[in-house]
């Protein structure tokens, strides 16, 4: 029998430590590799879940065929979003239903990470849930913290906390009941998904991008940010109609906010951003927003791939319509180039009047959700 000396044991241990260090370094380098990523810019039809799922699968498969290793679909890709008395009441799907199963199938077949957000039912409530499926079959979920104005808050519940009610109070708005709607137990509230060794993805849904609290929970913790939006511009012009939609083109002049928000988030966090947004027109019902006639929500597109320094690597404007935004970026954490101010909730993209409107209309929509939408869903 061969004699093993103490020196042999030390050499073996040293070799093991060296291998561990090399493995850790390899993982760190792997976390900062260049990968091909895609944002899907698509038009969704209000409330038509099955048709929208088929449409989304078409674009996602094109992205995978083009070699994308990360694919992000927009917020509300299964339903679109608008104020309507009936089309969205039953347009949810179970959290583990068809949208999640589609993501899992695409991720495993395409050996990629595939995600997006949809109106998902969990227990008595529905939430705006971002689902990320991984190549290994794992699934991560995050509920949008607070709905944006009454357009969203009358449709679904936010993953609320006391900070939401404090912000309403700061802006002079009361909410009834004056307690948070219970969050989904499995909601990953900080939206940090540890997807693989040394690699974490963060999620920011639409206006979560313009709140400093989102940057605080992601800064120095994630290697890539998955941002999904249903970011429209509302047209108050009474000359806008289905026969004259071009009259709403002026609303796109306000588009710098949707272009700058993901860039700023990248600079605040120190990570690249894949931002997918809806595009095209969806109509609010008469009397729901701007008077007695139908009103237009013009989803702005402007989907982008942004590197860790906050620079746009690829972009798709509103005028380009549906399609893919594809680029190669280096995923991994860098030192943020913009600081997070103390005692500030909103980034500069949200003006004071917009903050007040967010609070007042959001509280009103929340009341509709609790008194009308939720009971209707649970009794029919």
Residue where the block lists tokens 């979003």: 81
- Kindly tell me if the per-residue pLDDT of 1 is higher than 70: no
Residue 28 domain-assigned (yes or no) = no
The alpha-carbon radius of gyration of the chain (Å, integer) is 22
Average pLDDT over residues 146-159: 93
Crossing angle of helices 49-65/98-110, nearest 10°?
10
pLDDT band per the 50, 70, 90 thresholds, residue 247: low
pLDDT band per the 50, 70, 90 thresholds, residue 291: low
Average pLDDT over residues 338-344: 94
pLDDT confidence of residue 19: 43
Which has more pLDDT, 106 or 165?
106
Cis omega before residue 217 (within 30°)? no
Residue 249 domain-assigned (yes or no) = no
pLDDT confidence of residue 199: 95
Domain total of the chain: 1
- Kindly tell me if the per-residue pLDDT of 234 is higher than 70: no
Is the Cβ–Cβ distance between 329 and 313 less than 8 Å? Answer: yes
- The residue among 79, 28, 39 whose CA lies nearest residue 225 is 39
Residue 255 domain-assigned (yes or no) = no
- The residue among 88, 95, 158 whose CA lies nearest residue 121 is 95
pLDDT confidence of residue 380: 74
Q: How far apart are the first and last CA of the chain?
A: 78
Q: Phi and psi dihedrals of 334, rounded to 5?
A: -130, 170
Q: Phi and psi dihedrals of 226, rounded to 5?
A: -100, 110
Is the Cβ–Cβ distance between 78 and 40 less than 8 Å? Answer: no
Residues above pLDDT 70, as percent of the chain: 84
Residue 16 domain-assigned (yes or no) = no
Give the domain CATH number at 158: 3.60.110.10
Residue 248 domain-assigned (yes or no) = no
Average pLDDT over residues 188-205: 95
- The residue among 275, 279, 274, 319 whose CA lies nearest residue 301 is 279
Which has more pLDDT, 22 or 211?
211
Residue 110 domain-assigned (yes or no) = yes
Q: Who contacts 203 (Cβ-Cβ below 8 Å, separation ≥6)?
A: 115, 130, 132, 142, 191, 193, 225, 226, 227, 228
- Parent domain of 326: 33-232+262-280+298-379
pLDDT band per the 50, 70, 90 thresholds, residue 71: very high
Residue 309 domain-assigned (yes or no) = yes
Residue 340 domain-assigned (yes or no) = yes
pLDDT confidence of residue 236: 55
Highest mean pLDDT among 157-161, 278-282, 323-327, 341-345: 323-327
């Amino acid at each position: 029998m061969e004699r093993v000396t103490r020196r042999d044991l030390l050499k073996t241990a040293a070799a093991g430590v060296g291998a561990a260090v090399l493995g850790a370094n390899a993982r760190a380098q792997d976390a900062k590799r260049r990968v091909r990523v895609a944002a899907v810019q698509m038009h969704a039809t209000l409330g038509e879940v099955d048709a929208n799922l088929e449409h989304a699968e078409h674009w996602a498969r094109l992205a995978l065929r083009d070699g994308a290793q990360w694919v992000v679909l927009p917020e509300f890709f299964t339903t679109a979003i608008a104020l309507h008395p009936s089309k969205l009441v039953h347009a949810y799907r179970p959290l583990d239903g068809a949208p999640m199963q589609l993501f899992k199938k695409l991720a495993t077949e395409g050996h990629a990470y595939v995600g997006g957000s949809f109106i998902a039912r969990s227990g008595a409530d529905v939430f705006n849930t971002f689902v990320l499926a991984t190549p290994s079959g794992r699934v991560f979920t995050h509920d949008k913290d607070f709905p944006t104005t009454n357009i969203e808050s009358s449709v679904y519940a936010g993953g609320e906390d006391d900070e939401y009610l404090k912000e309403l109070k700061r802006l002079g708005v009361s909410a009834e009941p004056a307690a948070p709607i219970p969050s989904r137990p499995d909601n990953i509230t900080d939206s940090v998904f540890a997807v693989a060794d040394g690699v974490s993805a963060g999620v920011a849904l639409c206006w979560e991008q313009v709140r400093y609290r989102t940057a605080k929970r992601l800064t120095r913790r994630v290697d890539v940010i998955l941002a999904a939006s249903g970011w429209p511009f509302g047209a108050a012009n009474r000359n806008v109609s289905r026969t004259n939609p071009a009259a709403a083109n002026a609303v796109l002049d306000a588009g710098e906010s949707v272009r700058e928000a993901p860039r700023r988030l990248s600079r605040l966090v120190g990570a690249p951003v894949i931002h997918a947004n809806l595009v095209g027109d969806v109509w609010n019902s008469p009397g729901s927003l701007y008077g007695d006639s139908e009103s237009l929500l013009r989803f702005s597109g402007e989907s982008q791939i942004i590197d860790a320094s906050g620079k746009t690597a690829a972009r798709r404007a509103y005028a380009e319509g549906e399609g893919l935004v594809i680029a190669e970026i280096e995923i991994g954490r860098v030192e943020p180039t913009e600081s997070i101010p103390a005692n500030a909730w909103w980034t500069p993209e949200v003006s004071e009047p917009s903050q007040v409107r967010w609070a007042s209309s959001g509280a009103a929509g929340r009341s509709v959700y609790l008194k009308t939408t939720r009971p209707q869903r649970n009794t029919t």
